[in-house]
Chains A and B, each alone.
Chain A
Amino acid sequence: MNRRDKNILKLSTLKQNIAMKHLFKYLIFLLVLMTTSAYAQKIVNVKGTVVEKSNNLGLPGVNILSGTPLKSVGSTGGDGSFSINVPENASLVFTYIGFNNQTIKLNGKNVLRVLMQESNNDLKTVVVVGYAPKTKEVATGALTTISGKALQDVPVANVMELLQGKVAGLNIQNNTGSPGARGSIFVRGLSSIEVQGSGNDAFLTPTSPLFVIDGVPLDANTNYEYGFSQGGPGISPLSLIPPEDIEEVTVLKDAQATSLYGSQGAYGVILITTKRGKSKTPIIQYVTSFFVNTPPKLKQVIGGKGERDLRLWQIMNYDTTVYSARQRIDNNPLLSDSLNAFYNNSTDWQNVFYRTTLNQNHNVNASGGDERFNYKVNLGYYDERGIVENTGLKRYSLGMNVLYQPNEKFRLFANVSSALGMSQKGSGNGILQSGVASGSSASSLLPAPSLFSSSGAATGVLIVDNNNKSGNIKTNLEARYQVLKPVSVTSVINYDYNTGTEDTFKPSILNNNSSNVYSYNDRRSTLYNRNMISYAQTFNAVHNVNAYVFNEMYIRNYQAQAVSQVRTPNDQYQGPLGFNAATSRGGVLSSYADSRSAALATQLSYNYDRKYVLDLSYRWDGVSSSGPDVPWSKNPSIGLKWNFNRESWFKNAKWLDYGSLRTTWGKNIVPNGTVFDAFGSYNFSGVYNGSQSIGVGFGNLPNTTLTPTVTTQYNAGLDVGLFEGKYQFTFDTYYKMVDNQIREKTLADHNGFGAVKTNEVSLVNYGYELSLTVRPLAKTSKVNWTVSANGAINKDVLTSLPDRVRQILLDGGATGQAILYRLGVNSLSNVLYNTKGVYASTDAVAVDPATGKRYQTTNGGSTVFFQGGDPYWTDLNGDYKLDGKDLVIAGNSQPMITGGVSSFFSYKNYSVNVNMSYTLRRDILNVPLAERFQNFSNPGGANSLVPIEELQYWKSAGDVALYPNPYDYLRYSAYSPFRYNQTLFQEDGSYLKLNTLTLAYTFDKKFAERLGITSMRVYCTGNNLYTFTNYSGPDPENVSDLGRDNSSGYPSRRSYSLGLNIQF
């Protein structure tokens, strides 16, 4: 700590020295000015402040120019104030990157208040595409930039949550509320059809885009496979980035934009830039917020006597005879022994597990400097306790960067950022909280959890000792040297190191008398290096050429170990000695990896007077997981752009700010599989002659032609800005092929090998994206109002499956929710029984004309004939028997339309910011509703009962109902009326969500100054406020990527926060 403080001090003194130097320069300049022009003009001292129009905060580092030609006469300080000496009646020009220039004629005034408005001209924004900065005007690819300002004011662990609905074509579903976990992120639709698990627990293999944080690539998919298929702390690496430190986020969507991120970029690229120092006087900004997380509306349950009465009523009415009913009741003390204190309860189980928490977030940012030297230090602390007991996330982060550019020729940029995340997962695994799910749905008749009650699993949630840590350190050094005027050499090296540990202790008292110590640790490192030679030249003032060549390499290592010790001596002595050696396990997990990739890439950009733009790039990528026969993949791209507003016909068109038409084509890859899939493996193969031997691993046949997944994308877009920023419009259409997806094929047993992985799966996404920004009020208005809306339509079509088959059915597991891959239609279809209604009476059931039997079904053992109150499922093959042959293809688990709406409104010191997002046309399997009915399948069970009175279910003969009779529990197992895999529970999961609402107030400068601070702003924010939907389940967003509403998922919290932003 101390040392860092000293560093900061050192930095600021250095900074002051520089400032002094500048001061000297200005003094000399002023002296010269005075001596030369004192006779001509009177010099006046002008004071004032420059503030940002949207939030009334002082803008530091604004450059002030005056004279002809324009010369710098000063710049604003940390609070936006300035004091300059200029000739009387001079004209002052205030410039600042990202803002419109403001020109003010003095006309005798000497105290100014300058309002700077953010530039609405999108095209002037500088973006870094493919490692080289360029203005958006000459970028041919499809990209969207979100300012970091839009990501402040809402305390969240994972910043991606805030990008939801902000970028057309970036579909973010915050489908878990687990602190530190991340939702799913799709850029332009589906990129993989691989599914892990089955039925309700099926998860789509995540295909998140590549994140590049200050130039350090971070693959969010590797370390974090839902915290599900592997152990580990379950903290997404994205959760280790403090949102306050983010300057801007750029989303690159098409193949041209991502082309130079080649060996990883096929799923899209998201660039995150953290803040830099830009004020000559150092600025210290402190942001804090306190927030309350509340659980969503919990389900209602029937409690105590009501529950017991309902169970008794059901048994008495639906058992075969009154004798059998009485016997059933008598044999079940839960029902018959109502005076027993153990069963005489009305426990609110959900209250045991769900809680409202108070949390806090602190962030200090110190920065300063100018173009020659600037620095930033960001220190963050974030503490969120989950709404489920025994879960939560704490994050400590420290990030800093320094840019040093002593002269035009040399530039050095370095950054180091480190973060530590600590989480508790409770009894779940980060995504699923099955312990809580089963615990919170226990019967209300059972006593509240204690070690001596029968609800051991439930107690486990509360007293399992779980502690996880995830640490990350990123270092990056970038040096550039300009050899000649047009030629420069850049070298980048960075190292990213992650380590995760998990320690869990399950005491024996609740784990079947067998305590369990689980200790896990992993480490992952990525070393990255890039060396680039670039050339930039302008000929005849109109021909702009920019070309570069670079090589790139990655070295990645990953290894995880786990120790699981069973039966420690007692619950207090938790090892390391005395465990049961026969049942304990430990060692390196088989997920270890050591991979390399190398690439050579080149790009040529040419534009004619920024009117016609051509981008060409080519990239050779070698990855170690490619088969030895095809080590290199070649990825070309081309982009064309026409800025038609620069044509002579629009010369006088004041209404057209900009207009461009662009089209691109290109290829990208993402490595998949492991080196063993391509090269095979040697494994321990048994003992031969008394010694252990190593032989060929016969599990997987090596595929020497294995290649990475390739996406080939066409994109065409149109950007138009009208009436000086009043209307801005971007339209994109794309056609994206995702080929060579890896899939395992089992081999016939005579091949010797068990399976082989091949690249035979392909799919296509195509769609449209539209973004629209409107500033309805006049520029001169005191009210600043911006409304943005965007939407994307995406359709995916499966185009190829292994062995040229046309369809593959994935088993539905325990819940029967099967998935069908079928060529020519959407890639992931649900396969379900088609529920056409409920039989009003037994007469309505179809009869087999040949045998005279009613429509029937069997569960293998017993056969039941359908009767009144049973569901009417389509008999697809007309055999009067309901079985697997009657399943129909129904529904698409992938959303078709996604997007968002946001509005920013400010007036004087007040501002209101609203963000909404929507998802339309998506099918969800409503498992919670099915379970709600299934609760009645066993009236003697000890599960909770949720009231179903408001649902239209069948009660007596003749009822036309939506849901079948839930009470007929004796026949239940034979025909499962509330089976999960039926269209009755497939619902439309469209929703419109009010993501965030922020009200902010900026204190008057005078008031702030009285407190000794530059500026002060308070705000309150509501997050995840309300979801408008017709979906009858709990939350249409909190469902898996495959549209399964897993009731053991972690619910999304609602949060209310109060924040303060102070700048010194």
Chain B
Amino acid sequence: MNLVTKIMINKKNIIISTIPLMMLLGLLGACKKFLPTDRDTFNTQARFTQTIYKPVMGRTTVMGDNFDSQSSSLPLTFKIVNIRNSDGLSAPELIKPFDVLVWKKAYFGTEKSIAEIEAKRVIEKHPLFEIREHSGEFIMWAASNSSIIKALPDSGYTFDVEVTNNGGRRYFNNMQLQPYRERKYEPNSLDPTTGAGTNAAIRPNVINNMKGEITSSNLSSNDVNVYFNRIGDGNSITFRFLDTLSRPIDPAKFKLTDWPNLVHGFNMEKTSTYVKYDVAYPIPLVEIPTAYTTQDGRQARVKFSYDRLGFGGVKEVAEMSFNFSIYEKGAWEIVFWFNRDNPKFSNE
């Protein structure tokens, strides 16, 4: 009997104490809706710091550091909309995806074959002009060229960018894309706007301690012209040296040159008139410092060198170096023409 009442009491007790408890909890739930929602900040003062983009076609260009978010919550989402040409008509050539070569694995400059390099990149479909979804960086892919896309001096394309986060949305209207036509190699003497050649010569970057055969004077970079020739399709690069009479100089005369490591190429073919390598394009493949590039890695660097006994029996180490980039795949030839005097290889 006693036990029964006790149990009943307990039950009652539970009910009595839970009802007000539930009421209290409910009260609090009602208050919560007055709180602000967790929403991103979108500052309408956010802006693109650059509104006209002028990439060079034929090479992959990433145009970054171009958006000032003005303390909006990151990441923002960017989207190119309504891209149109100078006539105001839509531009399908910039919407349609093309085959572009993208990197999948890191290139180190230590790869042992072209196949190993090629295994690190694949072909994907991308529109030629893209915006990175969350960083707002624009990309012009290397597959772009002036036969598809209108290049300067055409006034190019106009487009809008939609920028959003969950706190707001803004359209940045009338941004412009005015691509330069492709320049297949650097340095070059092409007019960037028209693509027409000028007569300016391409010179090597450094010539040191090179004496002229006839004049015995020091040669300078002005004494050498450099020519880039695309002699056909393929995957190679050839270096030739010509004397003042355009006769070939035997590359072997540049005897201190580190021929196997001149460029990141394979299957070196060295004759008395040229040196040829199988290479992967573009050159350099990736703009990182490697054994084959300048210190900043932006361009490939070739260095030809020899030594001789100079006046008074002094050993003179002569060198000529040249920094360059080639963006289009092909069988390329780089010719160094000594226009004033030939280098003196023999001892004094």
* A, B: real partners: yes
Say if the beta carbon of B36 comes within 8 Å of chain A: yes
Given A797-B35, A877-B74, A877-B134: A850 and B62 interface contact (C-beta under 8 Å) = yes
Say if the beta carbon of B197 comes within 8 Å of chain A: no
Given A797-B35, A854-B106: A877 and B135 interface contact (C-beta under 8 Å) = yes
> In the complex the two chains form, is B21's CB within 8 Å of A718's CB?
yes
Please tell me which one of the listed residues B31, B40, B136, B286 contacts residue A851 in the complex, with CB atoms under 8 A apart: B286
Task: Please indicate the chain A residues that have their CB under 8 angstroms from the CB of B31 in the complex.
Answer: 714, 735, 766
Say if the beta carbon of A885 comes within 8 Å of chain B: yes
Please tell me which one of the listed residues B9, B41, B132, B286 contacts residue A852 in the complex, with CB atoms under 8 A apart: B286
Say if the beta carbon of A799 comes within 8 Å of chain B: yes
Say if the beta carbon of B287 comes within 8 Å of chain A: yes
Task: Please indicate the chain B residues that have their CB under 8 angstroms from the CB of A843 in the complex.
Answer: 105-106
Given A661-B20, A806-B39: A853 and B288 interface contact (C-beta under 8 Å) = yes
Bound complex: CA A842 to CA B105 (Å) = 10
> In the complex the two chains form, is A824's CB within 8 Å of B39's CB?
yes
Bound complex: CA A809 to CA B9 (Å) = 56
Task: Please indicate the chain B residues that have their CB under 8 angstroms from the CB of A805 in the complex.
Answer: 41
Task: Please indicate the chain A residues that have their CB under 8 angstroms from the CB of B64 in the complex.
Answer: 879, 881
**In this complex, which of A735, A848, A849 has the most chain B Cβ atoms within 10 angstroms of its Cβ?**
A849
Task: Please indicate the chain B residues that have their CB under 8 angstroms from the CB of A806 in the complex.
Answer: 39-41, 73, 167
**In this complex, which of B36, B135, B286 has the most chain A Cβ atoms within 10 angstroms of its Cβ?**
B36
Contact pattern, B 15-54, Cβ under 8 Å of A = 1, otherwise 0: 0110011011101100110011111110000000000000
Bound complex: CA A717 to CA B28 (Å) = 12
Closest to B9 in A: A655
Contact pattern, B 150-167, Cβ under 8 Å of A = 1, otherwise 0: 000000000000000001
Say if the beta carbon of B180 comes within 8 Å of chain A: no
Given A718-B24, A824-B37: A876 and B134 interface contact (C-beta under 8 Å) = yes
Closest to B28 in A: A733
A822 to chain B: closest CB distance in Å? Answer: 7
Say if the beta carbon of B139 comes within 8 Å of chain A: yes
Please tell me which one of the listed residues A733, A797, A807, A848 contacts residue B24 in the complex, with CB atoms under 8 A apart: A733
Task: Please indicate the chain B residues that have their CB under 8 angstroms from the CB of A800 in the complex.
Answer: 36
Say if the beta carbon of B125 comes within 8 Å of chain A: no
Say if the beta carbon of A675 comes within 8 Å of chain B: no
Bound complex: CA A854 to CA B21 (Å) = 58
Given A807-B71, A878-B134: A851 and B62 interface contact (C-beta under 8 Å) = yes
Say if the beta carbon of A653 comes within 8 Å of chain B: yes
Closest to B139 in A: A850
Please tell me which one of the listed residues B25, B106, B135 contacts residue A733 in the complex, with CB atoms under 8 A apart: B25
> In the complex the two chains form, is B74's CB within 8 Å of A876's CB?
yes
Bound complex: CA A843 to CA B105 (Å) = 7
> In the complex the two chains form, is B287's CB within 8 Å of A851's CB?
yes
| Tally of A interface residues using CB under 8 Å | 50
Say if the beta carbon of B96 comes within 8 Å of chain A: no
Say if the beta carbon of A716 comes within 8 Å of chain B: yes
Contact pattern, A 701-722, Cβ under 8 Å of B = 1, otherwise 0: 0000000000000101110101
> In the complex the two chains form, is A879's CB within 8 Å of B132's CB?
yes
Task: Please indicate the chain B residues that have their CB under 8 angstroms from the CB of A850 in the complex.
Answer: 60, 62, 102-103, 139, 141
A574 to chain B: closest CB distance in Å? Answer: 51
Closest to A825 in B: B38
> In the complex the two chains form, is A852's CB within 8 Å of B106's CB?
yes
Say if the beta carbon of A213 comes within 8 Å of chain B: no
Task: Please indicate the chain B residues that have their CB under 8 angstroms from the CB of A714 in the complex.
Answer: 27, 31
Say if the beta carbon of A845 comes within 8 Å of chain B: yes
B182 to chain A: closest CB distance in Å? Answer: 17
Say if the beta carbon of A847 comes within 8 Å of chain B: yes
Say if the beta carbon of B170 comes within 8 Å of chain A: no
Say if the beta carbon of A420 comes within 8 Å of chain B: no
Task: Please indicate the chain A residues that have their CB under 8 angstroms from the CB of B134 in the complex.
Answer: 876-879
Say if the beta carbon of A316 comes within 8 Å of chain B: no
Task: Please indicate the chain A residues that have their CB under 8 angstroms from the CB of B17 in the complex.
Answer: 718, 720, 729
Within 386-410 of A, Cβ neighbours of B (below 8 Å) are at none
Closest to B61 in A: A850
Say if the beta carbon of B259 comes within 8 Å of chain A: no
> In the complex the two chains form, is A766's CB within 8 Å of B135's CB?
no
Bound complex: CA A311 to CA B64 (Å) = 41
Say if the beta carbon of B75 comes within 8 Å of chain A: yes
B242 to chain A: closest CB distance in Å? Answer: 34
A718 to chain B: closest CB distance in Å? Answer: 5
> In the complex the two chains form, is A852's CB within 8 Å of B107's CB?
yes
Closest to A887 in B: B74
Bound complex: CA A716 to CA B136 (Å) = 51
> In the complex the two chains form, is A799's CB within 8 Å of B36's CB?
yes
> In the complex the two chains form, is A879's CB within 8 Å of B105's CB?
no
B23 to chain A: closest CB distance in Å? Answer: 8
Bound complex: CA A887 to CA B121 (Å) = 30
Say if the beta carbon of B199 comes within 8 Å of chain A: no
A1048 to chain B: closest CB distance in Å? Answer: 31
Task: Please indicate the chain A residues that have their CB under 8 angstroms from the CB of B39 in the complex.
Answer: 806, 823-824
B179 to chain A: closest CB distance in Å? Answer: 16
> In the complex the two chains form, is B41's CB within 8 Å of A807's CB?
yes
Please tell me which one of the listed residues A720, A808, A822 contacts residue B38 in the complex, with CB atoms under 8 A apart: A822
A642 to chain B: closest CB distance in Å? Answer: 9
Within 81-114 of B, Cβ neighbours of A (below 8 Å) are at 102-107
Say if the beta carbon of A865 comes within 8 Å of chain B: yes
Task: Please indicate the chain A residues that have their CB under 8 angstroms from the CB of B62 in the complex.
Answer: 848, 850-851
Given A731-B24, A807-B71, A879-B132: A849 and B104 interface contact (C-beta under 8 Å) = yes
> In the complex the two chains form, is B28's CB within 8 Å of A885's CB?
no
**In this complex, which of A808, A848, A850, A881 has the most chain B Cβ atoms within 10 angstroms of its Cβ?**
A850
Bound complex: CA A659 to CA B75 (Å) = 53
Task: Please indicate the chain A residues that have their CB under 8 angstroms from the CB of B16 in the complex.
Answer: 659
Bound complex: CA A714 to CA B24 (Å) = 11
> In the complex the two chains form, is A653's CB within 8 Å of B9's CB?
yes
> In the complex the two chains form, is B103's CB within 8 Å of A718's CB?
no
Bound complex: CA A768 to CA B287 (Å) = 59
Given A716-B24, A735-B28, A878-B133: A851 and B103 interface contact (C-beta under 8 Å) = yes
B139 to chain A: closest CB distance in Å? Answer: 5
Say if the beta carbon of A764 comes within 8 Å of chain B: yes
Given A807-B73, A824-B38, A879-B135: A849 and B102 interface contact (C-beta under 8 Å) = yes
Say if the beta carbon of B13 comes within 8 Å of chain A: yes
Bound complex: CA A766 to CA B32 (Å) = 9
Contact pattern, B 108-135, Cβ under 8 Å of A = 1, otherwise 0: 0000000000000100100000001111
Bound complex: CA A883 to CA B288 (Å) = 19
Bound complex: CA A733 to CA B107 (Å) = 61
A831 to chain B: closest CB distance in Å? Answer: 10
Bound complex: CA A596 to CA B94 (Å) = 72
Bound complex: CA A807 to CA B102 (Å) = 38
Task: Please indicate the chain B residues that have their CB under 8 angstroms from the CB of A852 in the complex.
Answer: 103, 106-107, 121, 285-288
Say if the beta carbon of B243 comes within 8 Å of chain A: no
Bound complex: CA A678 to CA B41 (Å) = 31
Task: Please indicate the chain B residues that have their CB under 8 angstroms from the CB of A823 in the complex.
Answer: 36, 38-39
Contact pattern, A 134-160, Cβ under 8 Å of B = 1, otherwise 0: 000000000000000000000000000
> In the complex the two chains form, is A842's CB within 8 Å of B27's CB?
no
Task: Please indicate the chain B residues that have their CB under 8 angstroms from the CB of A879 in the complex.
Answer: 64, 132, 134-135, 137
Within 792-849 of A, Cβ neighbours of B (below 8 Å) are at 797-800, 805-809, 822-825, 842-843, 845, 847-849
Task: Please indicate the chain B residues that have their CB under 8 angstroms from the CB of A825 in the complex.
Answer: 38
Please tell me which one of the listed residues B40, B104, B132, B137 contacts residue A847 in the complex, with CB atoms under 8 A apart: B104
Closest to B64 in A: A879
A770 to chain B: closest CB distance in Å? Answer: 10
Contact pattern, A 723-750, Cβ under 8 Å of B = 1, otherwise 0: 0000001010101000000000000000
Bound complex: CA A337 to CA B90 (Å) = 75
Contact pattern, A 1014-1048, Cβ under 8 Å of B = 1, otherwise 0: 00000000000000000000000000000000000
B47 to chain A: closest CB distance in Å? Answer: 16
CB pairs A–B below 8 angstroms (6 shown): A807-B71, A822-B41, A824-B39, A876-B75, A877-B74, A885-B135
Q: Besides the contacts A797-B35, A824-B36, A852-B103, what 6 more A-B pairs have beta carbons closer than 8 Å? A: A716-B27, A735-B31, A766-B31, A823-B39, A851-B287, A877-B75
